[in-house]
């Protein structure tokens, strides 16, 4: 049974969904409503923040006290490219960075519909190449993200592979939205348990990102279930088993495994979409983040942290 602390996210998600569904809400107001999701996470102790221009991309460093400075988590936030920001993800990434004992760079990639595909993919690659220019070795970088960020953090690596560029050491994707065709049955089977993400909402975000671009929903550049995943570094995938996007995570893991990728898939019982928003609040979420930290350290060539 889910902890009582985990119900905080259901309350916050329900409030956001109710406010966002009111007729006549403009985009600026919608973004303000979604930005309140940052309140779900607690402030991680011993983590400082610094804004930076990462190769022309606004970004935010999350810097845990005593961290290993030559390893970096490159993070893509959630929000379907339409809402949320580096600020909404600041605290949850601070917790993940602290668990891994490394720095994290949270990107504020351009949002749609003002900037449609491929603007976001271009921003993520620009920030990655900026890290390399700062002297960070590719094998010391992990590409991470949740929701659409789980798509973007993987698309980055696919694009680098196709260009023959050096790849990061690992990919961590939480609640990834990877199927623009939205064929998963969990859109229906989990419709009553997911209090925030609905088919209608995802359709709107898809239109904001891809509408008018001429990019079909099955294009492998945006639909990772159609992409060739061979040659990717190890991938760790998490999802909440109450979320409508659970099927995306499961099918993505199956596709990666079939392509010969070292992939592991983890279901968080009774959890919502992007349950990591509860970082620092719920015991099962904290446990998952500690597990993520251990895995990231192992892929970044670092020894396990001593138990606190």
Catalytic residues: 147, 243, 273
Residues 6+ apart with CB under 8 A from 220: 226, 227, 228
Q: Please write down the HEC assignment for all residues of 198-239.
A: CHHHHHHHHHHHHCCCCCCCCCCCCCCCCCCCCCCCCEEEEE
Compute the chain's Rg from CA coordinates.
18
| DSSP secondary structure, 174-205, as one string | ES----TT---THHHHTTTT-SS--HHHHHHH
User: What is the Cα–Cα distance from 234 to 232, expressed in whole angstroms?
Assistant: 7
Q: Is residue 161 within a helix (H) or strand (E), and if so which, with residue range?
A: helix 148-163
DSSP element (H, E) containing 143: strand 141-146
Burial class (CB in 10 A: 0-12, 13-18, 19+), 91: buried
- Other beta carbons within 10 angstroms of residue 31's beta carbon come to 17
State the Cα–Cα distance between residues 75 and 91, nearest whole angstrom.
12
Residue closest to 236 by CA, chosen among 170, 167, 302: 170
How many angstroms separate the CA atoms of 289 and 101, rounded? Answer: 12
Q: Is 276 helix (H, G, I), strand (E, B) or coil?
A: helix
Q: What are the DSSP calls for 15-43, one per residue?
A: HHHHHHTSTT--HHHHHHHHHGGGGGSPP
């Amino acid at each position: 049974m889910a902890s009582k602390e985990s119900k905080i996210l259901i309350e916050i998600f329900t409030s956001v969904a109710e406010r966002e569904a009111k007729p006549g809400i403009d985009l600026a107001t919608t973004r303000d409503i979604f930005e309140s999701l940052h309140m779900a996470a607690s402030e991680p102790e011993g983590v400082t923040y610094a804004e930076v221009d990462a190769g022309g991309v606004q970004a935010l460093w999350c810097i845990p006290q005593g961290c290993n400075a030559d390893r970096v988590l490159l993070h893509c936030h959630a929000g379907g490219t339409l809402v949320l920001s580096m600020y909404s993800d600041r605290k949850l990434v601070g917790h993940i960075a602290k668990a891994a004992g490394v720095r994290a760079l949270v990107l504020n990639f351009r949002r749609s519909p003002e900037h449609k595909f491929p603007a976001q993919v271009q921003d993520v690659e620009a920030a990655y190449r900026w890290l390399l220019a700062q002297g960070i070795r590719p094998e010391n970088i992990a590409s991470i993200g949740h929701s659409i960020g789980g798509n973007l953090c993987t698309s980055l690596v696919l694009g680098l592979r196709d260009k023959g560029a050096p790849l990061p050491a690992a990919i961590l994707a939480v609640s990834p939205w990877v199927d623009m065709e939205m064929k998963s049955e969990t859109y229906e089977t989990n419709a009553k348990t997911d209090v925030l993400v609905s088919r209608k909402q995802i359709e709107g975000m898809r239109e904001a990102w891809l509408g008018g671009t001429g990019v079909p929903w099955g294009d492998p550049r945006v639909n990772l279930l159609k992409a060739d995943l061979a040659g990717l570094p190890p991938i760790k995938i998490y999802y909440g088993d109450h979320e409508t996007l659970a099927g995306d995570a499961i099918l993505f893991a199956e596709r990666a495994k079939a392509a010969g990728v070292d992939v592991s898939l983890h279901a968080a019982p009774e959890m919502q979409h992007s349950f990591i928003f509860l970082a620092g609040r719920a015991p099962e979420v904290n446990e998952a983040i500690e597990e993520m930290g251990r895995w990231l350290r192992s892929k970044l060539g670092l020894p396990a942290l001593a138990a606190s």
